Amino acid sequence: MGILDGKTALVTGGSRGIGRAIAERLASDGALVAVHYGSNETAAKEAVAAIEAAGGRAFAVRALLGTPGDVDTLFAGLERGLEGRGLDIVVNNAAIQGYGASTLEGATEADFERTFAINARAPLFIVQRALPLMSEGGRIINISSGVTWFAIPEVVYAMTKGALNVMTRSLAHVLGERGITVNTVSPGITETDMNQWLVDSTESQRKVAAMVALGRHGQPDDLADAVAFFASPDSRWVTGQTLEVNGGLWLG
């Protein structure tokens, strides 16, 4: 018996990195998981196969966020996979960093629009479209970033995550009367494709470890376990909150 038996979950960007770990964890807790992805179908299929090999249930859904009709495409695939079931858990995880295209010097207006469309606009309209499928006890979990409280050069990316934190509080306010909680999980520096500089360099890993109280960088599972709490009935009295899951970043 899993704590999420009978529940359903959508994890955007569930095909790689933190999203994949979240998808695997929610499935191992018993949920049927929609593994959303944008373009890497192989990674999505691998994530679904890994969940099924572990005894869980999942299906892949493709929708390139930030393009016209993105949320319509997502929900067409999602509702096909749900086969008439409702939706209990939404994890807004997919995002792009942008790197040079996210800096003050490098960003164009088109880069700004695209980054906001993927990282902030899509999560809002995904929630809007999810609500008719959700009932009391529903869970919305937004994956933000520590860059909302420490500074990085990628200002546009950081702005999108600030918007997400604000969205969490506003949605917690309006969805409380429906018994739906809305919370943010805010990762620190985590080993994924987004951080190739960390994967590739033991010197970078050593520097990061020195910044972190617990003496290492994060792994996707570290985030997934925090998301599992917000997805579970144990978090019933928590809403509108941001949990920093970073091993004590800048406390090292």
Out of 59, 75, 157, 230, which one is annotated catalytic? 157
DSSP state of 118: I
What is residue 153's three-state secondary structure? coil
Q: Which is nearest to 74 in space by CA: 65, 82, 66?
A: 65
Among 4, 13, 133, 172, binds ligand NDP (CB under 6 A): 13
Q: Which is nearest to 33 in space by CA: 230, 25, 124?
A: 25
Question: Which of the stretches 9-17, 102-110, 201-209, 234-242 binds ligand NDP when contact is defined by CB under 6 A?
Answer: 9-17
Q: What are the phi and psi torsion angles at 242 (to 5°)?
A: -115, 125
Q: Which is nearer to ligand NDP, 179 or 213 (CB)?
A: 213
Scored b (16 or more CB within 10 A) or e, 116-126 reads bbbbbbbbbbb
Name residues whose C-beta falls within 8 Å of residue 214's C-beta, 6 or more positions apart in sequence: 247, 248
**Rg, C-alpha atoms of the chain:** 17
Using rule CB under 6 A, residue 96 touches ligand NDP: yes
Shortest Cβ 218–ligand NDP spacing (Å): 7
Binding residues for ligand NDP, total number by CB under 6 A: 28
Using rule CB under 6 A, residue 190 touches ligand NDP: yes
The answer to whether 99 is a known catalytic residue is no
Q: Please, which of residues 22-81 interact with ligand NDP by CB under 6 A?
A: 37-40, 43, 64-66
Using rule CB under 6 A, residue 139 touches ligand NDP: no
Shortest Cβ 84–ligand NDP spacing (Å): 25
Instruction: List, in sequence order, every residue forming a beta bridge with 62; answer none if it has no partner.
Output: 37
Using rule CB under 6 A, residue 93 touches ligand NDP: yes
Alpha-helical runs (H) found in the chain: 17-28, 41-53, 70-82, 109-116, 122-130, 155-175, 196-200, 202-211, 220-231
Contact 123, 167 (CB under 8 A): yes
Using rule CB under 6 A, residue 192 touches ligand NDP: yes
Shortest Cβ 220–ligand NDP spacing (Å): 6
Q: Please, which of residues 153-182 interact with ligand NDP by CB under 6 A?
A: none
Using rule CB under 6 A, residue 193 touches ligand NDP: yes
Taking the C-alpha atoms of residue 88 and residue 2, their distance in angstroms, rounded to an integer, is 15
Shortest Cβ 228–ligand NDP spacing (Å): 15
Residue 103 corresponds to which tokens in the numbers above?
């800096």
Name residues whose C-beta falls within 8 Å of residue 169's C-beta, 6 or more positions apart in sequence: 240
Shortest Cβ 99–ligand NDP spacing (Å): 11
Among 50, 131, 194, 209, binds ligand NDP (CB under 6 A): 194
Question: Which residues contact ligand NDP by CB under 6 A?
Answer: 13, 15-19, 37-40, 43, 64-66, 93-96, 118, 143, 145, 187, 189-190, 192-195
- Residues tagged active-site: 157
